[in-house]
Structure formats: C-alpha cells, structure tokens
Structure 1
Amino acid sequence: MRRSGMLLPIASLPSKYGIGSFSKEAYEFIDMLESSGQSLWQILPLGPTGYGDSPYQSFSTFAGNPYFIDLDELVKEGLLTKEECNGYDWGSNDEYIDYEKIYLSRFKVLKKAYKRSEIYSNKRFMAYCNKNKWWLNDYALYMSIKDFFGGKSWVEWDVDIRLRKKEAIHEYEEKLSDDILFYKYLQYLFSMQWNRLKSYANRKGISIVGDIPIYVALDSADTWANPELFQLNKECVPIAVAGCPPDGFSKTGQLWGNPLYYWEYHKDTDYEWWIKRIEYSFKLYDILRIDHFRGFDEYYSIPYGENTAVNGSWEKGPGIELFKHIKEKLGNVEIIAEDLGFLTDSVRQLLSDTGYPGMKVLQFAFDSREDSDYLPHNYNNNCVVYTGTHDNNTTIGWYKEINKKDKKMCIDYMNNKNSRESEIHWDFICLAMRSVADTCIIPVQDYLGLGEEARINTPSTLGNNWTWRMKQNSISKKNIKKIKMLTKLYGR
C-alpha cells in the first residue's frame, strides 16, 4: 500500500504559549493533512525533556511532556483564566521555542490548575493512576524527589534514596505526597488530551507515527527505578555508556552517555520490560519508529568516565531473539527501523529477518564520488523514504551547502537542468513521492521551502536545537492543493 505523510514534532506546532501543544492548532494540522491527501503524521518522542531539551533524553520512556498540555482546554474547564495564561512570558518569537521561559512558567500555571481541580476525588483520575501504577508511581516519585534536590540527577541524591532503600522511599512518599499527586495529575491531563487528539486523527484517516529512542536517559525514572535492567555497579554507577565511534562526521565520535542495557537480564526475563515498552508505545501511536536500530545487532560501549567515544568497543546485542518475543506477545505490530549510518552485513540481515521497513534519506544519496543505497533506483518497496529527517538540514539549506559536483549529480539524476535553487525542494519531494518506497514522509519545512533557519537538530551540538516552530497559517491553500495533486499523481 502506497501512502505518504508529513513529519512535524508536536513542539513545532504554532501556539499561543511558546511551544506546540495539543491545542486547536494541532487539530487544524490534522485537518490540513486530510485536505492534502496525507495519511500519516510522524512526530518525535513525546516524553518530558530535561537539560538540552532533546526529546531523545527524557525523564521517562513512559511519561508524556507536560509542555504539550493545552492550557486553553483548562480555561474551558474553569481551572485557569485567560488572564492567568497570558500573564506569563512565553517568549516573543513565533518561530522559536524559549525553553527557559517555558520551564519557568508552565509548571506554575499548571500548579494553579491542579490546586483547583480537586483531582483526588475524580474517579477517572483514580482509575488512570491504578491502571498505570506500574510506571506512574516511580515517575511521579522520581520527579518530586528531583525537585526536592533542586533538579539534580538521581546519581547525586543522598545515598539512601539513590539506592532506593525502603525506609527512604516511604519517607519521601509521605513528605512529598502533594508533589507526587501533582505529577500524576499532569500525566492524566497529558493522556486525556493526547488520546482525544489521536482519536481525531484516526477518524480523519491519519495514522500517528511515533518514535522511541533505543536507549533511556541516565537521568530518568527508568534507570533509577530499574537499575537491574542496565549495566550499573552495586552503587548504581554506570559501568559503560552508549555512543557512536569516530567517523567522517566526528573525529572523537559521539558520547551520548545513556546507560547500556544488561541484555543477559532482559533475556532471562523473556524481555518483559521491552515488551511492556513496545506495548505501551502502541497505545500512544499507530506505527512506531525505533531510533538507532543497529544497536540491537551490535552496540557501541564506552567505559564510563571517558570524555570522548574514542576508546569504545562493539558488543553483541540481543539480535532477532528480542523481536521474536515481541511478535509472539504483541503480534505483527507496525515498526519502522531507523537503520541510517554505516551498516554491517549482520545489521542488514537482522532488518531482513524482522521484515521491518528501513529508512531512505535523499540527502544521503547524492555523493558524486560513489553510488549510494539511498538513490531511489536502489530501493525495494519495503522502505520509508524521506527528503530529510529531524537530524538533517532542510532540503533548501542542505542544497545550498553541497559542492558543485554533488549539485550537478542532483540535477542530472532528476533530469531537470531548468531547476531554480529556490524551488529545488519540490524536485526532491517529487523524487521521493514517485519512488517505489511504500511509504513517503516529508518534513513540513520542505513543503514550505524553508532554509537552514528551520532546521530542528544538528547532532553532536548543544544549544539552539529543538527550537524551531511553524508560524500560524504557513501552509497556504495553494500549497495544500499542490501537495494533494502530487499525492494523487504518484498513487499515494
């Protein structure tokens, strides 16, 4: 089945309060997807973000980001006033997310709603808490203790609570009971609003493509509450952490710092935690993209305390066994494997064995020095093609940066010598849309013809990432008509 969609993070939606949310603009975006003939909306991970603002470094793999809660909905419910919502500084740039201002404001206004909610007497809330207690209790306690210690990571907490001594757990549960209930309330709001939005999308024929990182953050409820899942010593200090080896992009590699899984434990428990994680993801999404898929075949292990990724080594991952367990327990769930980067024969074999579609990115295709698997004539139909991803420059921004030989290769390949650089994004969109790939997903910035200023993330850099927002009414009726025409023309 040929289909297409758009990539846009929730955070990048237009909104009144500094960051995209589950507000009317999200519903309008779904309406636009329907009007333009699309059937997919790909987003980035929905988890609560911390230092660096990356959705791939979350405080929980199960929790949702409170920033996405629609404040106007709370106004309608009488829990907030418009004056209160407008009384905070959310930033003055419609195309930029000022995370510092949002952090300083969002929790304050949500706390007001919580104080007025009398949520402890709400039967739906209590049912939600009971159903999700297997992760929610640890998460709410974790965030409350984290606040108590001034935002410090759990590895810097007092030793009794860092190591989860029973007496300490009980003490903090009593001492911080109101904060714990507040964090549970936020998750309840997130869940109610997200489920409503997803149901709306599904009724409109739009499937949600979610995204999970292979790893969880060290500074997370997952690691603190379940140290046995990870390569930690008796003091809960990491033995080794995740990253990528040196390559053409980075002479010292990438030091991500995520704790590595203790795969022997996962195997002994029939991958119970992983199955829970995937199962929960499919309650949030219709289709799931798993980031850094190659880590299931082999993962790069860097001794804890290293300043770079130079001294790491490749270790064997769980391989096909994990995915056999997932299929056995959950059936044929729809997963996209992020298989970008340098691939070994064993990674290709694992992808083939799972049957999952991999990813093809056109920006990786045009290197005049060599043939590439990312050129459309090398595709089979079981793949997902993108012009670029959240980690790439926009197509316009990328095209301006590449050398003359690579530009000539692009023009020759598309047989379009009359292309204007300002319109080149449409050539790449058409190239992706007419490829044999079953699924085609285009970042919204490429449909808008935006340049480098609209880039979402530059890997291995800190600062100014994850901050781009789409302006209100950016996608014109003329643009929607053209997207629909191309979608129909290429049978999607």
Structure 2
Amino acid sequence: MKKRGSGILCHITSLPSPFGIGDFGAGAYGFADFLCEAKQSYWQILPLNPTNKRYFDSPFSSLSSCAGNTALISPELLAAEGLLTQQEVEDRPRFPEHRVDYQAASRFKRQLFQRAHTRFQKGGVPEDYARFCRGNSMWLEDHALFTALSNHLGNAPLTEWPQELINRNSEKVQLLREEFWDEVELEKFLQYLFFKQWHLLKNYCNGKGIRIIGDFPMFMNYDAVDIWTNPELFKVDERKKPYVLAGSPPDAFSAEGQLFNCAVYDWDGLKRNGFNWWIRRFHYLFRQYDFVRIDHFRGLISYWEVPAGEQNGLRGSWQQTPTQEFFNAMLQHYPLFPVIAEDLGTIGAEVRETMARYAIPGMKVLLLGFQKEAHEKSYLPHLHPRNSVAYTGTHDTATVTGWYHGADDKERQELFRYLGRRAENGVNWELIRLALMSVAHTAVIQMQDVLGAGEESRMNKPGKAEGNWEWRVPPGDLGEVASRLAEMTICYGRAQD
C-alpha cells in the first residue's frame, strides 16, 4: 500500500440481492463495477467467517479461523452452473430490501443448497472439488463434523456438549462421523462453493485493478471449532470452558469496557507450537485477500483479560504476549506481511513501537478527531503519517451525517474552523475530501458516507448486542455518486492508472 490510492468500506452482506442478504452474486459484481467507475483501488470488507444467531450474526464473533460464511453463496450463480433451476431461485419469499434478515435468508438458502448438493452428488465428483478438499484437509473435515454435531445438538454452545462429544478424539465422535456423513459432506460442499464463488469475485476485482482489504477477528469465539480441535492453544478447562475472557477496557467506544464472548489465547502454548496455528491462519487469509486489516491489533502485543463471570470489561488486566518472537515468525513466512493495524482505543507506546519496527500502517479515523468523546487530534489530516490509512469512519463509528446531526454546537464549530468554512450541506463530502487530501498513502470511505446516510444506517454500535450488521446499500443507480467520487479521487492523485 505504498502507492497512493483510495477505496470503499462495504461488507458483502450490505450489497443488493433478492435473497435477504448481500452475497457473491450480481450485486457484488455490480459493486465492483461501481468501484472501477469511481476510480477506486480498494474494496474493504468485514470478516467472511461463519456467523451464529446466538451472537447476533456478528462477523467479529468467529466460529472458525478458516471456514467461510455459506450464507454468502449466490443461488443465481448456482443456477448458472445448473445446480439449481431458475424456478427454484425465483420462487422465494419477499425479503426486506434495506435490512439484512439473517435467519430468514439462511433458512431459504439452506433449502436451495440441499437441492444443489443432491444434484452435485449425482453428477460425480469434479477434480476441482477433490483438489479443494485435499488442499484444505487441515481444517475442512473437523469444521464439517463440528458443524454437523452442533446442528445435532440444537446449536448448543460447545461448553454444554456432552463430555463424550467435547473430546474430539472420543470413540463416540468417530461413530457420529459416520452417522452424520451426509451432513458432513453437505458442509464440505458448501465450503467449496463459498471459496469458489469468492475467488471468482476477487479475481474479477483484481482484473479491474481493485484489491481486496479483508478483515478477521483477533479472538476466537468460545464456541469455535478451533477450541474443540486445539484446546491446548487457549485458556480453557477440561470441558473447554474459558476461565478468562477477552475484552477491552473502558474507552471512547464503551464506558464499561467490553466483553468479546471470546476465549483468550494461551501464548505459552502457541509459542511451544512454533506459532503454527497463526502461521496457518495467515496462510488462508493471504490467499483470500490482497491485504488484511487486523482487528484489535493490540491483542498481538498485550490484551485485556477478564475473569469469566464478569458482566463487563471493568475488572480486567493487561497481559503480555511474546511480541517480537511472534512477529519475527510471521515475517519469516510472509516477508511482505500485507496487514493494516486496527490501532484505535487504548494504545500504548509498545503498540506504536511494534508498528514502527515492522512498518505496519495504522488507521486514522477522521470522525474521531472531531467527536468530543474521542477527540484524538492525531486523527486529523495534517498529522497523518504517509504509512497509514485515512478513514472517514468505520463499522464501529457513527456515519459522518449521523454524527453531524447529533453533534453539539462546539463540535460543529470545531469542524467548521478546521475546514475554514461552514458545511451545512453535504458534510459527508467535506470529510471525504479531507480523507482524500490526506498524505496517507491510502484512504478508505465508508459506503454510508458516500451516500450521506444517517444514524439509522450505522453498521454496529459497540456494547449493543442486537440490531447490528443489518445495513444494506439501497437499490438504485450509483452513477451520480460514482462520478462525483471519481472527480475528487482524480483531483487528489488517488485514481487508478
């Protein structure tokens, strides 16, 4: 990311689609065309790992370090392959256009996917499917079996499973592997479809000069298959129940701190293992994306550990990781290490020193430079380092328009003073201009800010469990905003060649 460029932050689930949730179908390809028309170089998305209704379908609540969210598979693309009929695809409920309905979409798609799997099995196993299974054998079989067992147990948390199933190597688990063979094969098939469709979309974007910035959760949910298969790498007891949880201390996002419903890594175990789990994780991430944003980056240097049973993050403590050994191991395997550090919130000198030592760019969120709760002056453009990424806002912040309408007079006056003029109309474009003007090599604009969307379009409110991750791009022509964004992108030297 040393070359000047800009991009848009918009998750796959937010894209237009007739199936209740954005997916890898026509809406995604249309969005790639929009990015190209707007002269953008990057498309940033949120994590693509499986989500769970128990955790309100947050993409940052990771149930697998390697698997994909099969709800993003496009039925339209399956129909084009002959795995579904056009009638099956068109005979669907009426889903809302402006919000994601995760459960309704998943139920409908599940029925379609089962039909597609039946046809797939009758057609014989293609070589690319066999190759996919071989190439992903280190995680695919365990993930598929774990998914089948979880469905069999009514989606119960791992910590509530019968003891004979909590032990992955038990005789009972091996027997159920045979009993649930059909369900295991279905999940393997869905993972194959997920990665096939995703890589087709990524290749299409790359062919248009658009690189993908991916994302992944720092911590694993305590229901994750990784804990079932590698409990020695996490701080869990013999029933795989965490005795401490990951979280964050009080900050501008949450006055009581946060609990992430995630297990804490046993860094001693990871170190003894040569950090192989992390090496493998980055291997899959760098295959999926061109660049990777590391959510809660500071957790790789030190992390906030909270005793299990607490209701918030107030009574936690900082714990250190073997930082230098970890990063040296990653760079030995991935010399370029194309990552972005999410370095927001409580960040100390040790994090800054690590980023500087390994030349890892951080995030400069303009909105936090004007919000009185954060009021972080280093986020203002005149203080941006070149090796950084300037954002108008993120999935965790308000939209620019939403913030402006809720801001007090002092905050607005500070914005006007910085701009040198009032910004009564189109304040979103004023902050987009600031981001694109920045000397930071890369600028990323939330799609909601491109559209001037208000508070109702916010993607996530930290500390609020329900009602997040549902925003979708309204259907309609994006030509006008594409032209305006392209003009501004060219003006500030960020356009594609």
TM-score class, shorter-chain normalisation, is over 0.9
Q: How far off is 1:30 after superposition? A: 0.9
Higher mean displacement: 283-292 or 247-256: 247-256
- Of 249, 254, 274, the residue aligned with 1:250 is 254
- Of 454, 463, 466, the residue aligned with 2:466 is 463
1:224-239 matches, within 5 Å, as: 224-239=228-243
- Of 445, 449, 454, the residue aligned with 1:446 is 449
1:85-484 matches, within 5 Å, as: 85-89=89-93, 91=95, 93-118=96-121, 121-247=125-251, 249-367=253-371, 372-417=377-422, 419-420=423-424, 422-475=425-478, 477-484=479-486
Q: Compared with structure 1, are the counterparts of its residues 62 and 237 closer, same or farther at alpha carbon in structure 2 (3 Å cutoff)? A: same
C-alpha contact (below 8 Å) 2:75/2:109 kept by paired residues: no
Q: How far off is 1:158 after superposition? A: 1.1
Long gaps (5+) in structure 2: none
Higher mean displacement: 262-271 or 302-311: 302-311
C-alpha contact (below 8 Å) 1:386/1:441 kept by paired residues: yes
What stretches of structure 1 move > 4 A for 4+ residues in a row?
367-371
Q: How far off is 1:248 after superposition? A: 5.1
Give the AA of the match of 1:372: K
1:34-113 matches, within 5 Å, as: 34-51=36-53, 52-89=56-93, 91=95, 93-113=96-116
Q: Deviations over 1:309-336 (max 9, x none)?
A: 2221111123232111111112112110
Q: Deviations over 1:365-408 (max 9, x none)?
A: 01569661111111111100000001111110011111111100
Alignment partners' CA distance in 2, 1:339 and 1:384: 11
Alignment partners' CA distance in 2, 1:206 and 1:235: 45
Aligned alpha-carbon RMSD (Å): 1.5
With the length of structure 1 as denominator, give the TM-score of the two structures. 0.96
Alignment partners' CA distance in 1, 2:135 and 2:45: 25
Alignment partners' CA distance in 2, 1:393 and 1:251: 16
Give the AA of the match of 1:162: I
C-alpha contact (below 8 Å) 2:144/2:188 kept by paired residues: yes
Q: Deviations over 1:109-163 (max 9, x none)?
A: 1111111111662222112111101010110000000011111122111101112
Higher mean displacement: 407-416 or 246-255: 246-255
Give the AA of the match of 1:185: F
| Percent of matched pairs sharing the same residue | 39
Q: Deviations over 1:448-492 (max 9, x none)?
A: 1111121111111022100011122342x2221111111111011
Total equivalences in the alignment? 488
Alignment partners' CA distance in 2, 1:440 and 1:121: 44
Give the AA of the match of 2:194: F
**Secondary structure of residue in 2 paired with 1:373:** helix
C-alpha contact (below 8 Å) 2:159/2:239 kept by paired residues: no
With the length of structure 2 as denominator, give the TM-score of the two structures. 0.95
Q: Deviations over 1:318-355 (max 9, x none)?
A: 32321111111121121100000121111111111121
Alignment partners' CA distance in 2, 1:195 and 1:464: 30
Q: How far off is 1:31 after superposition? A: 1.1
**Secondary structure of residue in 2 paired with 1:233:** coil
Q: Compared with structure 1, are the counterparts of its residues 375 and 248 closer, same or farther at alpha carbon in structure 2 (3 Å cutoff)? A: closer
Alignment partners' CA distance in 2, 1:80 and 1:97: 23
Alignment partners' CA distance in 2, 1:358 and 1:295: 14
C-alpha contact (below 8 Å) 1:396/1:424 kept by paired residues: yes
**Secondary structure of residue in 2 paired with 1:365:** helix
Give the AA of the match of 2:132: Y
**Secondary structure of residue in 2 paired with 1:121:** coil
Alignment partners' CA distance in 2, 1:11 and 1:121: 30
Give the AA of the match of 1:378: L
Q: How far off is 1:166 after superposition? A: 3.1
Alignment partners' CA distance in 1, 2:194 and 2:396: 26
Q: Deviations over 1:64-114 (max 9, x none)?
A: 1111111011112222123323333252x2111111211322212111111
Give the AA of the match of 2:215: D
Long gaps (5+) in structure 1: none
C-alpha contact (below 8 Å) 1:320/1:354 kept by paired residues: no
Higher mean displacement: 73-82 or 265-274: 73-82
